[in-house]
Amino acid sequence: MPVVAISGDGGFLFTASELATAMAHRIPLTTIVFSDGAYGTVRRIQQERYGNRLIACDLVNPDFVAFAKSFGAAAARAEDPEELRRALRRALAQRDGPTLIEVPVGPLPSPWEFIHMARVRGT
């Protein structure tokens, strides 16, 4: 069964070395990393609630495609939705190891409105 993990760059970096384990066991995991160069939610909260006083929210990222390839994993960068669609199709067709897809993005809107909306609806 195909598995797709979706993460931000900050979250991915907490466990990025697990790519070595996925390679060692040839786990066909597809990881999509949305890369905005920050702990995006933390940054947004600091901007909105603390007068744009920012501390410890910006990241210095590796080249995620090169990072994944350094483990021997398949990797791609998708700059738009069509590139992401194609990269995801290729990744899901691959069955002999992990694939990382990096998607560079700018600041993203807050997800909390949608999360709270789901709770109200009971879903």
Q: pLDDT of the chain along its 123 residues, tens only? A: 789 999 999 999 999 999 999 999 999 999 999 999 999 889 998 998 999 999 999 999 999 999 999 999 999 999 999 999 999 999 999 889 999 999 999 988 887 787 877 666 665
pLDDT for the residue 94: 85
Strands (E), 20-112: 29-35, 74-77, 99-104
pLDDT for the residue 107: 86
Instruction: Note the CATH number of domain 3-121.
Output: 3.40.50.970
Question: Would you state the structure tokens that stand for residue 120, as one six-digit string?
Answer: 């109200």
